[in-house]
Each structure stands twice: as structure tokens, then as C-alpha cells.
Amino acid sequence: RDSTTIGLRYSEVARDTLSRELVSVSTRFGDVRCKVARQDGAVTNVAPEFDDCVRLADQHGVPVKDVQAAGIQAYRES
């Protein structure tokens, strides 16, 4: 009501989601769960669970990014 806009724009957006699975990998810091996204059977993304990384980083006194990197590396080597 208080806008100077005369019209509104509407647009539809299509969204596809990739299939995901949760995989646990062992790192030097401990076990980290990773979300693995796939498209047509090929892995397109690996994302370590942030809560796991924060917990392990606090326990070991290291940056969260170090634990995340270790999780991704452990997945790639598995």
C-alpha cells in the first residue's frame, strides 16, 4: 500500500534436486558425516556436515575449515 510501484511481476521457477546420501568418513579428527549429491549416478558435490566439523574442530583446537577439508579428502580417498 505504501509503495510507489504500480504493477507486480510474477515469474515461475523450476527446480530440480539432486539425489543425496549421507556417508560417514574417518578423518584424523574423527568421523565426519558427508552429504554426497549425485546426478545421473555421478558425484557432483560432497559437503561435510557442519555440526560434525564444528564439534571436532572444538575438540582438537583447529579451524573448522581444516576439518571440512579433511572430510572431503577422506571421501575422495575412500
Residue 2 is predicted with a pLDDT of 74
Residue 1 is predicted with a pLDDT of 64
In the chain, where the domains are located: 19-77
What's the CATH fold of domain 19-77?
Ubiquitin-like (UB roll) (3.10.20)
φ, ψ of residue 63 to 5 degrees: the values are -65, 150
pLDDT by 10s per residue, the chain, length 78: 677 778 888 999 999 899 999 999 999 999 999 999 999 999 999 999 999 999 999 999 999 999 999 999 999 999
Report yes or no: 74 and 25 within 8 Å, Cβ to Cβ.
yes
Give the span between the Cα atoms of 73 and 78, in whole angstroms: 9
Report yes or no: 72 and 35 within 8 Å, Cβ to Cβ.
no
Beta strand extents in the chain (DSSP E only):
19-27, 30-39, 42-48
Q: Tell me the whole-structure pTM to 2 decimals.
A: 0.79
Residue 68 is predicted with a pLDDT of 98
